[in-house]
Amino acid sequence: MVAISYPAWRGLYARSVDKGKEAFEWSFNSAANGLVAASAALVSGFITERFGFDYIFLIAPIIGIPGIIALIKILKYFTK
């Protein structure tokens, strides 16, 4: 899934980068992605340790569905 979504995200993001602020905005994007990944690892590790691995398979789709909806809305916005 990441192989499909990541290039599309970078393409959409590249269209919205402000002239003269490219380095800052790309570095901010990279740092934000790293923080989100680290936070997800921390939270999923806590859930796994506390409740067991099976709960990750129950919680991940619940968290993922709003993300999918948001991506669909963003896609509609950029394809007009």
Tens digits of residue pLDDT in 25-71: 999 988 998 999 999 999 999 999 999 999 999 998 998 899 889 88
Report which of 71, 68, 54 is spatially closest to residue 8, judged by C-alpha positions.
Answer: 71
pLDDT band (50, 70, 90) for residue 76: confident
pLDDT category of residue 3 using cuts at 50, 70 and 90? confident
**Largest separation between any pair of C-alpha atoms in the chain:** 48
| Cα(50)–Cα(37) distance, integer angstroms | 20
Contact call for residues 55 and 48 (beta carbons, < 8 A): yes
Structure token pair of residue 8: 């599309």
d(CA 20, CA 15): 14
Which pLDDT value is given to residue 24?
Answer: 92
Is the model's pLDDT at 80 over the cut of 70? no
